[in-house]
Amino acid sequence: MTRYRFVESPVGRLLVAGDEEGLRAVLFQQGPKAAEPEADWELDEGVMPEAVEQLAEYFAGERREFSVKVAPRGTAFQLRVWQELQRIEYGETISYGELATRVGNPKASRAVGLANGQNPISIIVPCHRVVGANGKLTGYGGGLPIKEALLRLEKGRSGLFGL
């Protein structure tokens, strides 16, 4: 049974969900892809305390790597993309083309972009670290201002919360 809770953060309200296998979701409650819990999920304000604590440490600038066990659900290709996202270093960005190369299919940047956009575990699986080939910010489920704020936090720049 997947259980969920809502968590307030500097980038807005987050839906955090998990089960015995691990963290299933960190989803934005606002922005272009505002998410709601699945119909069969159960509200539990105590679920995934380690993930919530690690997110708080990240936002405080005290955590660069997450150690919570993630268990996203997706296709084999999506899972490969999401696994590769976790290898992008804190404070670094790569292009969709580079991500496609890293998953073994340099011509699949569009498919990689679609998989990146379906990532159910925002922030912890850092899809915000993928940018356009020209270095410009492109779509993000929480909205581009949040993507920019997360990247500023990771670059050590002030103004994270001046959204």
**Percentage of residues in the chain having pLDDT higher than 90:** 85
Specify the 3-state DSSP secondary structure of 25: strand
CB-count burial class (<10 Å; 0-12, 13-18, 19+) for 62: exposed
Count of structural domains within the chain: 2
Do both 88 and 150 map to the same domain?
yes
Q: What is the CATH number of the domain that holds 106?
A: 1.10.10.10
Q: What is the CATH number of the domain that holds 20?
A: 3.30.160
Element (H, E) at 22: strand 22-28
Do both 81 and 148 map to the same domain?
yes
127 catalytic, yes or no? yes
Radius of gyration of the chain (CA): 15
Do both 82 and 149 map to the same domain?
yes
Tell me the residue range of the domain where 32 lies. Answer: 3-59
Asked whether the whole model's pTM tops 0.75, one would answer yes
pLDDT class of 158 with cuts at 50, 70, 90: low
CA distance 161 to 11: 7
Catalytic residue among 127, 149, 151, 153: 127
CA distance 147 to 23: 21
pLDDT class of 156 with cuts at 50, 70, 90: confident
pLDDT class of 163 with cuts at 50, 70, 90: very low
Do both 51 and 109 map to the same domain?
no
